[in-house]
Amino acid sequence: MEAYVLDWLNLLLRWAHVVVAIAWIGSSFYFVFLDNSLLKPEAPDLKDKGVDGELWAVHGGGFYNPQKYMVAPKSLPAHLHWFYWESYSTWLTGFALFTVLYLYQASTFLIDQRVHAWSPAGAIAAALAFLAVFWLVYDGICRAFGRREHGDRIVGGAVAVVVVLGAWLACQLFAGRAAFLLVGAMMATAMSANVFFWIIPGQRTVIAQMRAGQPVDPVHGQRAKQRSVHNTYFTLPVLAAMLGNHYGFLYGAPHNWAVLVLVMAAGALIRHAFVVRHKALVQGKRVPWEFAVAGTLMLLGVAVWLAPTPGPAVHAAQPATFAQVQQVIGTRCVMCHNEQLASKGVRLDSPDAIVLHAQQVYQQAVVLKLMPLNNATGITDEERALLKRWYESGAQP
């Protein structure tokens, strides 16, 4: 019953997380596009009101004319729409999902004894520390260097180094799948913390100053803009890390931390291509697609690097029998692939089911060596070799 409840929690939380993340990313991408697509207003009345840029757009049969003020308008309407619950709900649902899947089941999903042997409590504490420490280090870098000359470049370089170190350390401490997720989660935590600690409080301060009749300090908008730009560059790397933890050929690679760093870097390059594209189109300049090309080539390079190669031919003295195969699968696999659980929709509790899923067994247990998950059931190399001989001889019952 517990497994059934966990499956439902996993489904509902994952669904909610994806829905609210789409809303957050969508609004974030839109406002980055909007900021980079604004044109100086031509109408005198707009200039008199303090409008610094405007955009005309058509969508869904309607025409839209969003306007941006240099600092703030002279007065505010009674109703002002805020964009923050998309961020908060994404982090809350993501952390809830992380708790249900990884923290509650730390021995299965967070820990791989072959990577680092430690207690569930220690692994949980370290995982939570990853989220908090990255935010503190990142925020400290922004505070120290963000307002200096060339501050954006300094912050970008320093944060990139911290992300690389975090990816390396996570892959030395946690199961590969968990490590990928943690790196994405620590960056996503910083993104949401930017909204919670800097962007929204700065906007509230500006509104309070306006309503009190005080001069508006532009520094709040400048800080919010800086953190918002950081968030847009984090987005594709975070998605790459979180989606990558579903693909064993990535997180199960020998140098998985380097794989993760390269894939995230490719995401950042591709995102940069779209950011600068908006400005180039407005300014009538050449669209610098070389960033997207570089990111794509980086992904292709990773794909070539990880491409499986045929191992040396092994001539078995004795062919594997189906009875031997069934014994190995019954001992090592059936506890997660039976009528009640059927993890990933795969059952291996009958001869017909084993033959039906022979290719998946071969791919996951022999080629990628990802199953059993974190080798929780202790399958041996000899047993993997037996499965290999059986599959390559025709996978007959």
- Which residue type does 170 have? A
pTM of the full structure: 0.86
**End-to-end C-alpha distance for the chain, whole angstroms:** 33
User: Which pLDDT value is given to residue 336?
Assistant: 85
SS (H, E, C) 47-85: HHHCEEEECCEEECCEEECCEEECCCCCCCCCCCCCCCH
Together in a domain, 266 and 330: no
Tokens of 275: 């950011």
CA dist., res. 41 & res. 62, Å (int): 21
Ranges of the chain whose pLDDT falls below 50:
none
Are 94 and 177 found together in one domain? yes
pLDDT computed for residue 177 by the predictor: 94
- Residue 326's domain comprises 322-392
Residue 325 has phi, psi (to 5 degrees) of -60, -45
Question: Strand pairing of 51-54 and 67-69?
Answer: antiparallel
Whether residues 282 and 228 share a domain: the answer is yes
Claim to verify: residue 248 and residue 357 sit in the same structural domain: no
Q: How far, CA to CA in Å, does 382 sit from each of 75, 328, 366, 385, 387?
A: 76, 10, 11, 5, 9
Residue 351 lies in a domain: yes
Domain count of the fold of the chain: 2
pLDDT of residue 227: 95
| Tens-digit pLDDT profile for residues 354-388 | 888 888 888 888 887 888 888 888 899 888 988 98
| 3 state DSSP class of 39 | strand
Backbone angles phi, psi at 62, to 5 degrees: -125, 160
User: What are the start-end ranges of the E strands in the chain?
Assistant: 51-54, 57-59, 62-64, 67-69
138/230 same-domain check: yes
In-domain check, residue 13: no
Cα–chain-centroid distance for residue 89?
16
Residue 277 belongs to some domain of the structure: yes
